[in-house]
Amino acid sequence: MKKPAQFWVKNNTAGIRHMSYVPDAGHSTLIRLFGDDPQVVANVLTTEEEGVAIACGAWLGGMRSVVLMQSSGVGNCINMLSLPVQARMPLLLLVTMRGEWEEFNPWQVPMGRATQAALEAIGVTVLRAETGADLVETVAQAAGMAFDGDQQIAVLIGQRLLGKKKW
Choice among 5-9, 81-85, 97-101, 158-162 with the minimum mean pLDDT: 5-9
CA-to-CA distance for 64 and 107, rounded, in angstroms? 33
What is the model's pLDDT at position 7? 46
Where on the phi/psi map is residue 142: left (φ > 0), alpha (ψ -120 to 50), or beta? alpha
Q: Where does the pLDDT of residue 103 fall: very low under 50, low under 70, confident under 90, or very high at 90 and above?
A: low
Tell me, which fold does domain 16-161 have in CATH? Rossmann fold (3.40.50)
pTM strictly above 0.85: yes
- Tens of pLDDT, residue by residue over 21-67, are 999 888 888 899 888 888 899 999 999 999 999 999 999 999 999 99
Among residues 12, 7, 39, which one has the least CA distance to residue 135?
7
Q: Where does the pLDDT of residue 102 fall: very low under 50, low under 70, confident under 90, or very high at 90 and above?
A: confident
- Tens of pLDDT, residue by residue over 108-151, are 767 888 899 999 999 999 999 988 888 989 999 999 999 999 99
